[in-house]
Amino acid sequence: MSLNEALFLKIQGLTGIGLIDQTMLLLAEALVLLVPLSLIYLWFQGRERKEDALFTFYTSVLTIGIAYVMSLLYFHENPSATYSTLIEFHAENSFPSQHTAAVFGTAFPLIYRNRERLGWLLTAAAVLTGFARIYVGEHWPVDILGSIAAAAIGLGVAYISWDRLEPAWSTALDLYEKIEKEALSKASSLL
């Protein structure tokens, strides 16, 4: 038995307590919603935070793309194809966990951009997402490690390429702020 399988079975051994099972089912699906919520939160915090939100969004998109490429390079079926799990999923490639990759892909750039409180909160959410997805039987532990790797690579690619994209994102941000200012001005004149 591999370490991956042994760890999965250890986590599966925790199932069977109704309230905890229901909580894990919720966490496995819902914590990924922190990704857009954190970006929206940052967006309305001023220019510097808008830049942080754009960098974080860019990194998240790269992470999901990298996770997709990883899934093309390595295939294994989800655990519920082999074991009886909390929820039966149809057999599919479970490597890496897209949900977990998205949350780590949001957490890492926030920490890098010195938004540490939010970044560490999302890191905790990503760990919980990964654990919950193993718990319910959707993923193996190695799928979560693959997600972390995808997020780290995504951050590396974003770090290398972000400055080259500066003219485009800076111009788009200037235009957005101009439109926002005019809209707010017109709205206040109507009141």
Q: For the chain, first and last CA: distance in Å? A: 69
User: What are 106's two structure tokens?
Assistant: 């949001």
Q: What is the pLDDT of residues 137-159, one digit of tens each?
A: 999 999 999 999 999 999 999 99
- pLDDT for the residue 177: 87
Q: Which whole number is the average pLDDT over 23-30?
A: 95
Question: What is d(CA 130, CA 135) in angstroms, rounded to the nearest whole number?
Answer: 9
- Tokens 């951050």 belong to which residue? 155
Kindly tell me if the per-residue pLDDT of 46 is higher than 90.
Answer: no
Question: What is d(CA 146, CA 152) in angstroms, rounded to the nearest whole number?
Answer: 10
Question: What is d(CA 32, CA 28) in angstroms, rounded to the nearest whole number?
Answer: 8
- pLDDT for the residue 186: 83
Question: What is d(CA 173, CA 189) in angstroms, rounded to the nearest whole number?
Answer: 24
- pLDDT for the residue 151: 98
Share of the chain above pLDDT 90, in %: 73
Instruction: Determine which of 34-48, 65-79, 177-191 has the lowest per-residue pLDDT on average.
Output: 177-191
**Which uninterrupted H or E stretch holds 104?**
helix 98-112
Q: Which whole number is the average pLDDT over 76-89?
A: 83
- pLDDT for the residue 67: 98
Kindly tell me if the per-residue pLDDT of 89 is higher than 90.
Answer: no
Beta bridge partners of 93: 77
Instruction: Determine which of 7-11, 69-73, 86-90, 129-133 has the lowest per-residue pLDDT on average.
Output: 86-90
- pLDDT for the residue 183: 85
Q: What is the pLDDT of residues 91-134, one digit of tens each?
A: 788 899 999 999 999 999 999 999 999 999 999 999 999 999 99
10 Rama sector, left if φ>0, alpha if ψ -120 to 50, beta otherwise = alpha
Q: Please enumerate in sequence order all residues whose Cβ is within 8 A of that of 56, keeping only pairs 6 or more positions apart, or say none.
A: 38, 39, 42, 106, 109, 110, 113
* 3-state helix/strand/coil string of 45-80: CCHHHHHHHHHHHHHHHHHHHHHHHHHHHCCCECHH
Kindly tell me if the per-residue pLDDT of 56 is higher than 90.
Answer: yes
Signed CA dihedral, 157, 160, 164, 167: sign only: positive
**pTM, entire model:** 0.90
Q: Are 129 and 28 in contact (CB under 8 A)?
A: yes
